[in-house]
């Protein structure tokens, strides 16, 4: 004999104050849990969107990031002889030899942060068409001019249009601000690769070589030709999108592990709150439980009713926590990218899997918090319960 759902819902609303406090505690924990997952997913989403499935990046093997990769001019020339590299209408290869360096800039509100400065080649228009100048103009090739990502322009007062940035013994003028619609490139500064190489006395040695394939399906053929050349054994090609996705793993994993650890500590308090609420419900409804048992409801029905009530409380708190966390999508923050040791701006991002994970987390708290009180209610002696009045 099962207890009607209407009875469970009525009792769910009977103790408004204690139920509200418990729901608020659960909501806070789920909010933190969801925010952590959204932060990690936001970092991944930002860096994955940085790359393109049509482009191939070539770096030195075992290099943890672009700044630790070195490719000399002889290797650059060998790469240009490989097949399946896209060409511009005039016959030039769509390829960019890119030096990548780190400079320091003062942040808005105080403090200094590392910023990635990337040197690019004239073929950049074909290689990364997602780049759009939203203020000013493109830098002039051959001059010490720069364009900055809009995430940098917003957070660094010295990176505004018309400002000068001093590094490598010279002043570089900012002539444009660009956007790539939220990718990691928005946290970079770009300039003429040849000017950057000259300023840093690097000769013709760059950090990475990025090229566009004539057809994305030819990646395996390109990689086979690459690996068959003995001169390229110390280097590896990888799809640009996959490369930046790998760059996000360390930071996103660190945030996820640390955040979940903190959330679990908070969840202990919320679970205890749910337990106290359900024990209070059992104590206040002792006679009611005895009456239900005398009417023929078995122990399993009593246990299920109280456990379901606990789950309803935590699900309500979980839904509220997820709803509040969803507003974080309107905010963007910045952090230090562990791979490049430079500034990375990103937005919180919510996904269906995060919603499901947060609800499951809330259900677990409800089950753990409500199980023992439910067992106590189910094991209550009928006669003893009826005499409690």
For 284-303, the pLDDT digits (tens) are 666 666 666 666 666 777 77
Helix residue ranges per DSSP H, the chain = 5-12, 16-48, 73-80, 124-127, 150-155, 193-199, 219-228, 240-284, 286-294, 299-326, 352-378, 382-387
State mean pLDDT over 342-348: 84
Q: What is the DSSP letter of 71?
A: B
Q: Check residue 372 and give its pLDDT.
A: 78
Q: Check residue 333 and give its pLDDT.
A: 82
Instruction: With CA atoms as reference, report the closest residue to 167 among 113, 105, 106.
Output: 105
State mean pLDDT over 33-51: 87
Q: Check residue 292 and give its pLDDT.
A: 62
Question: pLDDT tens digits, residue range 174-195?
Answer: 999 999 988 889 999 999 999 9
Mean pLDDT of the chain: 85
CA dihedral (288, 292, 294, 299) positive or negative: negative
Q: Check residue 290 and give its pLDDT.
A: 65
Residue with tokens 């969803």: 326
Q: List Cα–Cα distances, 337 to 36, 156, 159, 342, 382, in angstroms.
A: 16, 17, 20, 6, 62
Tokens in use for 234? 């110390």
The CA angle 339-340-341, to the nearest 5 degrees, is: 100
Question: pLDDT tens digits, residue range 269-284?
Answer: 878 877 877 777 666 6
State mean pLDDT over 162-185: 91
What percentage of the chain has pLDDT greater than the value 90?
Answer: 42
Sequence-separated (6 or more) residues with CB below 8 Å from residue 316 = 23, 26
Do residues 53 and 192 touch, judged by C-beta distance below 8 A? no
Give φ, ψ of 167 to 5 degrees.
Answer: -160, 160
Burial of 205 (C-beta count, 10 Å sphere; 0-12/13-18/19+): middle
Greater confidence (346 vs 374) lies with 346
The answer, yes or no, to whether residue 385 has pLDDT greater than 80, is no
Q: Predicted confidence band at 168 (pLDDT cuts at 50, 70, 90)?
A: confident
Question: pLDDT tens digits, residue range 50-82?
Answer: 878 899 999 999 888 898 899 999 999 999 999
């Amino acid at each position: 004999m099962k207890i009607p759902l209407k009875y469970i819902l009525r009792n769910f609303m009977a103790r408004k104050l204690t139920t509200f406090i418990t729901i608020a505690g659960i909501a806070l924990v789920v909010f933190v849990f969801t925010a952590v997952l959204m932060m990690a997913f936001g970092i991944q989403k930002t860096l994955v969107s940085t790359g393109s499935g049509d482009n191939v990046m070539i770096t030195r093997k075992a290099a943890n990031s672009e700044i630790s990769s070195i490719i000399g001019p002889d290797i650059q020339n060998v790469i240009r002889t490989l097949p399946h590299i896209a060409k511009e209408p005039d016959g030039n290869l769509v390829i960019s030899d890119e030096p990548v360096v780190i400079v320091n800039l003062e942040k808005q509100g105080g403090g200094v942060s590392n910023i990635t400065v990337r040197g690019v080649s004239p073929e950049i228009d074909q290689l990364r068409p997602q780049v759009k100048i939203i203020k000013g103009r493109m830098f002039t090739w051959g001059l010490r001019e720069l364009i900055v990502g809009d995430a940098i322009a917003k957070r660094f007062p010295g990176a505004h249009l018309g400002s000068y940035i001093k590094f490598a013994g010279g002043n570089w003028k900012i002539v444009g601000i660009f956007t790539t619609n939220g990718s990691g490139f928005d946290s970079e500064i770009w300039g003429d690769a040849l000017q950057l190489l000259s300023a840093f006395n690097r000769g013709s040695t760059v950090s990475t070589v990025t090229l566009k394939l004539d057809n994305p399906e030819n990646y395996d053929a390109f990689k086979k030709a690459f690996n068959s050349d003995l001169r390229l054994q110390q280097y590896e090609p990888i799809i640009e999108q996959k490369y930046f996705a790998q760059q996000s793993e360390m930071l996103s994993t660190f945030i996820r592990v640390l955040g979940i650890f903190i959330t679990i500590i908070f969840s202990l308090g919320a679970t205890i709150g749910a337990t106290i609420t359900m024990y209070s419900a059992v104590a206040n409804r002792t006679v009611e439980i005895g009456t239900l048992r005398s009417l023929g409801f078995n122990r399993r029905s009593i246990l299920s009713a109280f456990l379901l009530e606990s789950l309803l409380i935590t699900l309500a708190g979980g839904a509220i926590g997820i709803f509040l966390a969803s507003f974080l999508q309107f905010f963007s923050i910045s952090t230090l990218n562990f791979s490049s040791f430079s500034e990375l701006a990103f937005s919180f991002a919510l996904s269906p899997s995060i919603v499901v994970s947060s609800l499951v987390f809330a259900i677990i708290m409800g089950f753990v918090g409500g199980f023992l009180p439910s067992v106590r209610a189910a094991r209550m002696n009928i006669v003893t319960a009826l005499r409690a009045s």
